[in-house]
């Protein structure tokens, strides 16, 4: 994750830093270490994928394109995905969400992801349901006319779920 670079608008001939190898020395079980390394790789790649989306200018990643990329990712990794349209959002009574995103030129979407492991997958220790919330707002203009210029750059942080000057929420 530390090597992540926003190279979206850089020339291809510019050099980038790549990690070539890591050497780990440990007396612990190597299979346990391998599992943890794989887990870390998956988390880092996921975070960098989200960073790439958040680094896009608002106009380059409207809701329809955001939903398309989310569906592409979900299909690649075996997640279920349902993409609700503005009409479905309104019909479900999600008035607040519909009201904020009712700009008809942007084709509002709400993506719902599901991970349902197959019968052979390791069962969780409890029947507890894990919920992960990811706020993928492509650009939030809420109150833009009354916001001071200082801090305007934080508007893009909404997409990544970052809230630099407000109460943090559980991730």
Residue boundaries of the structural domains of the chain: 30-119+128-158
89 pLDDT higher than 90: no
Q: What does the pLDDT average to over 66-82?
A: 90
Tell me the fold of 30-119+128-158. Answer: Aminopeptidase (3.40.630)
Instruction: Rounding to the nearest 10 degrees, give the CA dihedral for residues 150, 155, 161, 166.
Output: 30
> What does residue 35 show for φ and ψ, rounded to 5 degrees?
-65, -40
Is residue 154 within 8 A of residue 144, CB to CB? The reply is no
Instruction: Rounding to the nearest 10 degrees, give the CA dihedral for residues 19, 25, 27, 28.
Output: 0
- The dihedral of CA 6, 51, 136, 161: what is its sign? negative
Q: Report which of residues 139 and 72 the model is more confident about.
A: 72
129 pLDDT higher than 90: no
44 pLDDT higher than 50: yes
Q: Model-level pTM greater than 0.85?
A: no
CA distances from 135 to 85, 110, 126, 129, 170 (A): 16, 10, 27, 19, 12
Percent of all residues in the chain with a pLDDT value above 90, rounded to a whole number: 7
């Amino acid at each position: 994750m530390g090597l992540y670079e926003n190279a979206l608008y850089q020339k291809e001939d510019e050099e980038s830093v790549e990690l070539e190898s890591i050497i780990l020395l440990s007396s612990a079980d190597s299979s346990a270490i391998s599992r943890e390394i794989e887990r870390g790789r998956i988390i880092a790649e996921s975070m960098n994928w989200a960073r790439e989306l958040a680094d896009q200018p608002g106009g380059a990643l409207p809701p329809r394109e955001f939903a398309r990329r989310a569906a592409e990712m979900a299909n690649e990794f075996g997640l279920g995905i349902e993409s609700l349209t503005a009409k479905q959002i309104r019909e479900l009574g999600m008035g607040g969400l519909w009201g904020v995103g009712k700009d008809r030129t942007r084709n509002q979407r709400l993506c719902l992801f599901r991970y349902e492991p197959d019968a052979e997958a390791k069962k969780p220790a409890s029947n507890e349901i894990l919920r992960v919330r990811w706020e993928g707002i492509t650009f939030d203009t809420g109150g833009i006319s009354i916001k001071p210029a200082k801090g305007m750059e934080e508007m893009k942080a909404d997409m990544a779920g970052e809230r630099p000057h407000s109460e943090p929420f559980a991730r």
